[in-house]
């Protein structure tokens, strides 16, 4: 007489009943990784654009200001 195994085999990732769930989990992880990478690239480009815009605005502001005199004060416009 054969006694039943006290430890039934655990389901393997290759088991036909488990495989679809493993594939879904892997696809979800890949999707999250791709989305995270895409957002990181977007965020970096956004920061670079913001930095360049600030540089342009600063240059335009400096060009539009009247030049400073030797003592550092700006020349006042005469009306």
Distances (CA, A) of 12 to 4, 8, 36: 20, 12, 30
Q: Which domain holds residue 48?
A: 35-63
Any domain includes 14:
no
Any domain includes 58:
yes
Q: State the pTM of this model.
A: 0.54
Question: What's the structural domain count of the chain?
Answer: 1
Average pLDDT, the chain: 83
Any domain includes 56:
yes
Give me the pLDDT at residue 66, please: 75
Render pLDDT for 6-40 as a digit per residue (tens, 0 to 9). Answer: 766 676 766 778 888 899 999 999 999 999 999 99
DSSP-derived secondary structure letter, 79: -
Are the C-beta atoms of residues 74 and 65 closer than 8 Å to each other?
Answer: yes
- What's the rounded Cα separation, in Å, for the pair 62 and 35? 41
């Amino acid at each position: 007489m054969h006694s039943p195994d006290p430890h039934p085999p655990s389901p393997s990732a290759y088991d036909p009943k488990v495989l679809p769930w493993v594939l879904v989990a892997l696809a979800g992880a890949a999707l999250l990784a791709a989305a995270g990478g895409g957002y990181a690239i977007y965020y970096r480009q956004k920061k670079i654009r913001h930095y360049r815009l600030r540089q342009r605005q600063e240059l335009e502001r400096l060009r539009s200001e009247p030049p400073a005199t030797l003592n550092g004060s700006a020349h006042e416009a005469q009306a």
